[in-house]
Structure 1
Amino acid sequence: MRKLLLIVILFFSVLGYSQKKVLKTNFTSSTITIDGKLEESIWETTPIADNFIMFQPDNGKPITENKKTTVKVVYDNDAVYIAATLYDDEPNKILKEISKRDDFGTSDLFGVFINGFNDGQQDFQFYVCASDGQADCITTDANGEDYSWDAVWKSKALITDFGWVVEMRIPYAALRFSGEKKQTWGLNFFREIRRDRQKFTWNYIDSKVGTFTQQSGVLEGIENIKPPTRLFLLPYSSFYVNANSKQKTYGTLKGGLDIKYGINDAFTLDAILIPDFGQTKYDDQILNLGPFEQQFNENRSFFTEGTDLFSKGNLVYSRRIGGRPSAYPTTVDNEEVIENPSSVNLINALKVSGRTKGGLGIGVLNAVTEKTYATIENTVNKETRREEVEPLTNYNILVLDQRFRKNSSFSFINTNVTRNGKFRDANVSALVWDLNTKKNTYNLSGNFKYSYINALEDKKGVYTTLNFAETSGKYRYSFGADLVTKDYDNNDLGINFETNYYSIYGNANYRILNPTTLFNSFKLNYNMYTQFHKQTGKIQGNNININVNLDTKKNHYVGFGVNINPIESYDFYEARTANRYVILPQKYNAWLYISSNYNNKFAIDFNPSYSIFNETERSTYEFLLGPRYRFNDKFSMNYNFYFQRRNNNKGFVDSIDEDLNSSTPETIVFASRNVITYSNSISGKYSISSKMNFDLAIRQYWSYAENKNYLSLEQNGRLADYTNYNTNKNSSFNSWNFDLSYSWWFAPGSQVSVLYRNNAANFENTINKNFEKNVTDLLNNDALNHAFSISVKYFIDYNSLKSKS
């Protein structure tokens, strides 16, 4: 009888969890002060959201009474207000590291997730740390969390003798909702107890289901509110001082304006006038010995904020906008290029994005870059001339993304690059689909992309992929295939390295959904990938991967695995010549990753890896060591050391054109080389408060390739000794970046930032193996640049101006 009673209780508990909870809210006409004290009388009569349920690690377990959480919501004509009381039987153990915006640090956390259309498509998430910091993001199941999105809202967190309290004011201008008289919003609340690594939600999130945003509760009771005029102005002024040994110190004053305008309740216009990216983070450059360009992160806020629509189809690499010129200057005898800009100036940019109540997302991004010239000098008479290397150029992106049944979408994307005059133009279109069954148990996804380069090259190509997956439960799997034709090219506004192939791949994995006696989480993966050259059918790539990822009961993360390339493959890229390839040997790799619990003051990351090749004395070993220490809630430092050694690496170094009248093809020269890489980086922060922070970032990088002997690439893809080559093709690259910054959010959305930085980089063919001398020479040579800048941005909300008038 007891067993039967227990089964009935569990059944109705799970049934209750599976139902959407409903919270009623009250209207208030009184003023609410965001101070965390909850002294206003309206809070006494407002319904409570409670009975939180664990999301991780023990999914479905009710929160304990000594950690109970209660939340209330009220609203007025301008904003929604949230009051959360988070009980803790050991308030002195609440973790509360102070950190900058959008950085949770090691701190307890409370969040509210709002979907103004209640369509399960997109959440606006607002977080408050126990240290009184803020974070916000837009979340979709397809693209995850986008923390580049920032809103202006108020919050206050206070530690008490029974736990901690959060009070929040989220203006309607930070949300999206319809103009209907009665509002029904999707709503969920989130709490993380950091010291236990436990996460809870108000409405149950079933981890067996592969979706998050569709498992929210409901907020009812909001009536007679109107979407506000969403017009925000962000004027800024910046002052820069730059210097190095080759030029005098000089100062530059800049000013400009960013605009954000809500066209209607769904769509927003963002525009930048007179762009200023002077405080953008430096790129972490490396010694790139491969056939493909190095891909860099996008650090410019305009191109990172709220760009989830533009990531559809993976067609856009925004670093192309304002990147290197598309042409290289031509020279004749006795001429040399004395100045060739490394980037093109952006004139202006705008984007319009949003989603209708019917689920149609529309995104338009347009940017214009200026005409750019290189300077060429005659070495005899010293006369100079200018040559156009990039014309006035227009970049345009259009995205139409229709969501349906709350968990599926079908998208059309078009990118277009139009260059003025006789330069290359490009157009790429794509259809992308992401289809899920009603219960989110199976997924069918894929795309069809078509590229066209204008009549100068008249090149057309196709890229298509199809993937099927089971997406719920302990056991999951997926399989799919790709096809890319030879002339597919999206590199004018995107980035793509390999073409002219077809591939098949698959995955099977097992995971635990609730903790065991040994692990909080455990996942076993098996992956298989094989790629074939489209024209010849030769295997270009083959990989079998088995890996395990787990969290221990003490919240230490461990991962380990093996990668196997079991057969020889044919690399059609490293030879840098059409229809030529080099044969790659079998390869066997094993790796380990350990990351100790970041809750501890001292933690460490350790990631060794070792590879052996089916080739004499060829191997690779590398490791990353990353200790970190949190001195107190304000001050922490992280250090990372990375080392890699590639023994007897084989790679391209040169090609020699033979006599045009000869039947002998060009000679492609490879080298057998040892490649050594060292990288040291230090990052640190000191937070006076959640609104005032100092940050330090230092990176030293040195990599060199020492050629032992030269080889010629035979027609059959094998390498043979080549003794008729005496050119020095050794490579040594050093770089140094140093950033020290101060940031103060002196008002909502308004910021002062002060930055000092220096950087240097040097490439040469001479290798000096003295590590200390390499670093000191780099810092003492003429290439070291110094920059000091101050930037002030002030946030202006049109609604605030209107209310004061």
Structure 2
Amino acid sequence: MPKYSCYFICIILLITSKMFGQNPKKTLHTKSTTEKIIIDGKFDEASWKNAEIATDFLMNNPDNGKPEKPERKSEVKVIYTNEALYIAASLYDNEPLKIGKELTLRDNFVTADHFGVQLNGYNDGQQEFRFFVSAAGVQMDCVYTEANDEDFSWDAIWDSRTAITETGWVVEMKIPYAALRFPTDIKQTWGLNFYREIIRDRQQFSWNLINNNINNEANQAGILEGIENIKTPTRLFLIPYSSFYLNSNKSQKTYGEIRGGLDLKYGINDAFTLDAILIPDFGQVKFDNVELNLSAFEQVFSENRPFFTEGTDLFNKGDLLYTRRIGESPSISIGDNETIEEYPSTIKLINGMKVSGRTKSGLGIGVLNSVTENTSVVVKNNDTGETRLATLAPLTNYNVFVLDQRFRTNSSVSLVNTNVTRNGEFRDANVSGLVWDLNTKANSYQFQGNYLYSIINDVDKTNGFKTFAEFNKTKGKYRYGFGGNYVSTDFDNNDLGINFQTHYHSFYGNASYRILNPTKLFNSFRLNLNAYSEFDNKSGKIQNNNFNVNVNSNNLKNDYFGYGINFRPFIIYDFYEPRSVDETKYVIYPETFGGFFYFSSNYNRKFALDFNPSITFFNEKDRTNYGFLISPRYRFSDHLSFVYDFRFNRQNRNIGWVDFDENDNTIFARRDRITYTNTLQVKYSVNNNMNLNLSVRHYWSYAVNNDYLTLQNDGTLTDNLDYNTNKNSNLNTWNLDLSYSWWFAPGSQISVLYRNNSFLFSRDFSNQFERNIKDAFDTDNLNHIFSISVRYFIDYNSVKNSRFVKSFTKPKERIHF
């Protein structure tokens, strides 16, 4: 009997290991070389001949685990020097004329075949530096973490060459150690994976299998061994820049401005890096998509400034950082009879600095610091004509400090602190947080959460906290999760973060089903169910609830379909829309029911189309929201393409706050709101380093108030026949960017930008589309900016070893008498 029991236990252990264990990891052994490797895509150096080959790729999507076809096999070799890692990939294809090779800007994948290498110097299964190159030679790079996915705002300096051959295409890459992070061990063991995409079939492959049954990619990488005794060069890079701006509009004369500054990157050691900007210039960043905001909360904008987007995954722990706070122009209180003569849109950034990296034991350390200058405005008394100088923003220091300990290849615990210190008798703020992300060894279950605590030193000192905890099943076809959070009344992280609501608690849950391999109808299919309920802490009233069911799928022709329904089955009590200092005030909103559908055709076709209609019904007479998006795109060639996007939205009998009357009554309005958004993107790529791009956006949104209402103490609204102030709203914006970009050397760029824009807000307006677009083009309203910027990448080692420097530093010959 014990003998059979032993057999039974062995079988159970074997089945369990298959079900819950990690995929077996492949290992590639690399060799060092002192030979000079020229990145030309030819692999004709002797060092490549004896290098070990990584092959036998497996499909990630759509047919997870399926081996690559022999006629489309992939073969990759890796060698290294004291300076860099070198990769040579032969990507076979029996139909080389069908290889996708569309040209585009850096970090855009579009319709091209791709090859990539994914490197983890600590082999801890948590962070990868990913480097991709398309068959057209376009580079893409990113930092990957499980928490933040792929962050393509990070840009490294590396070299690559591609070539189409009779048997497919080839890639040769040089990745300097300066672009990576790893410990100072004599013998290195790195996490490694290779990626290949055959775009015409929408097939993605990897060397070590990425099992879709497991919700963790980096933990499924293979192993790179053989790197030993490397003596890495000094990591010191200087990027000086010079810019010229020519500004013109009707209210001021045309004037020119010359700017200059410096970016610095220094490797403190192989793991830690210092990034600094001195006299930064953000004049050529993408424009913001400003909208007519009638809500109780500010509009949130994406961060477009490179310094604040590159390599910031460590600083995003706990969601305490909203970098647009740094340099934003705050509001200032003035008298009813006063006006500000010139209000700056931003506060000038004096400098910025980041230090980040990770120790061998997995401890990540990050420090981000920025300083903005003291800014004053001239305030004019409209009655007397007298002026006074008022401080808009004092000299301010913004600081973020993070400790992030990784362990067991898939878990982490972090300590985060953000601090804002303003010079003088102004508000200061400090927020600290404990953040955790814990996963079982087999990545089957996850427990994550945080505890955040804020201290505000202002006229009144306040302390508050915010916390959440969540449990998820993260493996298999069937997955689920549930959690909740609690926010106290005085929690406030808005000095360096963003948080709209306080004094509430919530509960939520989700469940999903997905296929892991294609069926007769679908390449991918996923069904999701979500539920959310939110309650006010003080009264216990429900202030939000939502349930939705949705499907996302991809058919065998790689067209995407999605649809779903959502409903709010209970009335809600909104404590924010009344905009009152009395936090017990609320307005009651009715139940809702709605749905959506989207279709996105395969982008491999020259012509493709996105279509997305939606509608929401309210349990209130004649009150509905509906709209749609339609976006055709056409690819004329591998060089030229365009995308047009039209969005329409209408809200019938929408209800929202508009004012307080002379008796301090809260006034709402029943209004109709219509929004049109037209955008156009045209891209022409001369080659993989030179691009012309046109970006156009016209946004028009207006709201007409049909009836005015008074908010009652019980949250209901009654007609107000006395209030007659015009609170209609009309916002009309126009933005056009025409840019030219040339990467004339690795890390070095010339960019030319012509921008014109207008911003018009009014209470009295015409609701004719032709009239509003004409106003946007009116020369009285247009601003014009022409700018040229040159950035040049300087590697300290190249300068140090140059003949010019050596001629001054070599020992002088002695003259003997």
TM-score by length of 1: 0.96
| Separation in structure 1 between the aligned mates of residue 184 and residue 449 of structure 2, nearest angstrom | 35
Mapping of residues 49-64 of structure 1, within 5 Å:
49-64=54-69
Within the candidate set 502, 507, 510, 1:499 is matched to 502
Q: Is the 8 A contact 2:82 2:233 kept in 1?
A: no
| Separation in structure 2 between the aligned mates of residue 223 and residue 358 of structure 1, nearest angstrom | 19
Q: Offset of 1:657 from its aligned partner?
A: 4.4
Counterpart in 2 of 1:794?
A: 792
Letter of the 2:45 counterpart: E
Q: Is the 8 A contact 1:329 1:337 kept in 2?
A: no
Counterpart in 1 of 2:354?
A: 351
Deviations along 1:293-323, whole A, 9 cap, x unmatched?
Answer: 0000100000000000111000000000000
Counterpart in 2 of 1:146?
A: 151
Letter of the 1:224 counterpart: N
| Separation in structure 1 between the aligned mates of residue 614 and residue 778 of structure 2, nearest angstrom | 35
| Separation in structure 1 between the aligned mates of residue 602 and residue 529 of structure 2, nearest angstrom | 26
Counterpart in 2 of 1:328?
A: 332
Mapping of residues 724-743 of structure 1, within 5 Å:
724-743=722-741
Counterpart in 2 of 1:705?
A: 703
Counterpart in 1 of 2:9?
A: none
What's the secondary structure of 1:254's corresponding residue?
A: strand
Deviations along 1:256-303, whole A, 9 cap, x unmatched?
Answer: 000011111111111100011111111110000010000001000000
| Separation in structure 2 between the aligned mates of residue 781 and residue 752 of structure 1, nearest angstrom | 29
Deviations along 1:150-205, whole A, 9 cap, x unmatched?
Answer: 11111001011110010111111111222222222211111000011111011111
Q: Offset of 1:226 from its aligned partner?
A: 2.1
What's the secondary structure of 1:45's corresponding residue?
A: coil
| Separation in structure 2 between the aligned mates of residue 185 and residue 529 of structure 1, nearest angstrom | 42
In structure 2, list runs of 5 or more residues that go unmatched: 1-14, 807-817
Q: Offset of 1:487 from its aligned partner?
A: 1.1
Mapping of residues 201-600 of structure 1, within 5 Å:
201-325=206-330, 327-331=331-335, 334-577=337-580, 578=582, 579-600=584-605
Within the candidate set 664, 667, 670, 2:668 is matched to 670
Q: Is the 8 A contact 2:426 2:458 kept in 1?
A: no
Q: Offset of 1:14 from its aligned partner?
A: 11
Q: Is the 8 A contact 1:79 1:170 kept in 2?
A: yes
| Separation in structure 1 between the aligned mates of residue 470 and residue 512 of structure 2, nearest angstrom | 16
Letter of the 2:770 counterpart: E
Counterpart in 2 of 1:112?
A: 117
| Separation in structure 2 between the aligned mates of residue 484 and residue 657 of structure 1, nearest angstrom | 34
1:749 corresponds to 2:752 = no
Counterpart in 2 of 1:4?
A: none
Counterpart in 2 of 1:761?
A: 759
Counterpart in 1 of 2:10?
A: none
| Separation in structure 2 between the aligned mates of residue 168 and residue 525 of structure 1, nearest angstrom | 41
Letter of the 2:110 counterpart: G
1:179 corresponds to 2:177 = no
Q: Is the 8 A contact 1:453 1:459 kept in 2?
A: yes
| Separation in structure 1 between the aligned mates of residue 18 and residue 372 of structure 2, nearest angstrom | 60
| Separation in structure 1 between the aligned mates of residue 380 and residue 515 of structure 2, nearest angstrom | 67
| Separation in structure 1 between the aligned mates of residue 779 and residue 248 of structure 2, nearest angstrom | 13
1:23 corresponds to 2:37 = no
Q: Is the 8 A contact 1:694 1:742 kept in 2?
A: yes
Letter of the 2:285 counterpart: T
In structure 1, list runs of 5 or more residues that go unmatched: 1-9, 659-665
Counterpart in 2 of 1:92?
A: 97
| Separation in structure 2 between the aligned mates of residue 565 and residue 241 of structure 1, nearest angstrom | 52
Deviations along 1:64-114, whole A, 9 cap, x unmatched?
Answer: 101100001111221111110000111111111011111112100000111
What's the secondary structure of 2:53's corresponding residue?
A: coil
Letter of the 1:278 counterpart: G
| Separation in structure 2 between the aligned mates of residue 170 and residue 194 of structure 1, nearest angstrom | 25
Letter of the 1:228 counterpart: P
What's the secondary structure of 1:92's corresponding residue?
A: helix
Counterpart in 2 of 1:695?
A: 693
Letter of the 2:579 counterpart: R
Letter of the 1:767 counterpart: F
Q: Offset of 1:803 from its aligned partner?
A: 2.5
Deviations along 1:509-535, whole A, 9 cap, x unmatched?
Answer: 000011111000000000000000110
Q: Is the 8 A contact 2:301 2:324 kept in 1?
A: yes
1:71 corresponds to 2:69 = no
Q: Is the 8 A contact 2:264 2:275 kept in 1?
A: yes
Segments ≥4 residues shifted beyond 4 Å = 10-17
Q: Is the 8 A contact 1:126 1:135 kept in 2?
A: yes
Q: Offset of 1:16 from its aligned partner?
A: 13
Counterpart in 2 of 1:192?
A: 197
Letter of the 1:266 counterpart: A
Q: Is the 8 A contact 1:23 1:47 kept in 2?
A: yes
What's the secondary structure of 1:18's corresponding residue?
A: coil
Letter of the 1:586 counterpart: E
Letter of the 2:391 counterpart: E
Deviations along 1:334-375, whole A, 9 cap, x unmatched?
Answer: 533222223211111101111111111111111111111121
Q: Offset of 1:801 from its aligned partner?
A: 1.6
Counterpart in 1 of 2:815?
A: none
1:683 corresponds to 2:697 = no
| Separation in structure 1 between the aligned mates of residue 696 and residue 41 of structure 2, nearest angstrom | 38
Mean Cα displacement is larger for which, 518-527 or 166-175?
166-175
Counterpart in 1 of 2:7?
A: none
Q: CA RMSD in A?
A: 1.6
Letter of the 1:576 counterpart: R
The alpha-carbon distance between structure 1 residues 543 and 12, as it changes in their structure 2 partners (threshold 3 A), is closer
Deviations along 1:121-142, whole A, 9 cap, x unmatched?
Answer: 2111111100111111111112
1:774 corresponds to 2:766 = no
| Separation in structure 2 between the aligned mates of residue 187 and residue 783 of structure 1, nearest angstrom | 55
| Separation in structure 2 between the aligned mates of residue 148 and residue 290 of structure 1, nearest angstrom | 30
Counterpart in 2 of 1:126?
A: 131
Letter of the 1:707 counterpart: N
| Separation in structure 2 between the aligned mates of residue 655 and residue 192 of structure 1, nearest angstrom | 59
Q: Offset of 1:15 from its aligned partner?
A: 12
Mean Cα displacement is larger for which, 314-323 or 68-77?
68-77
| Separation in structure 2 between the aligned mates of residue 303 and residue 18 of structure 1, nearest angstrom | 37
| Separation in structure 1 between the aligned mates of residue 400 and residue 653 of structure 2, nearest angstrom | 45
Deviations along 1:651-692, whole A, 9 cap, x unmatched?
Answer: 10111242xxxxxxx311111110000010000100000100
1:629 corresponds to 2:634 = yes
| Separation in structure 2 between the aligned mates of residue 376 and residue 669 of structure 1, nearest angstrom | 30
| Separation in structure 2 between the aligned mates of residue 610 and residue 28 of structure 1, nearest angstrom | 63
| Separation in structure 1 between the aligned mates of residue 720 and residue 92 of structure 2, nearest angstrom | 74
Letter of the 1:535 counterpart: K
Q: Is the 8 A contact 1:49 1:72 kept in 2?
A: yes
| Separation in structure 1 between the aligned mates of residue 294 and residue 792 of structure 2, nearest angstrom | 44
| Separation in structure 1 between the aligned mates of residue 42 and residue 439 of structure 2, nearest angstrom | 45
What's the secondary structure of 1:344's corresponding residue?
A: coil
Mean Cα displacement is larger for which, 178-187 or 201-210?
178-187
What's the secondary structure of 1:242's corresponding residue?
A: strand
Number of residues of Structure 1 aligned to a counterpart in Structure 2: 787
Q: Offset of 1:781 from its aligned partner?
A: 4.6
Mean Cα displacement is larger for which, 174-183 or 92-101?
174-183
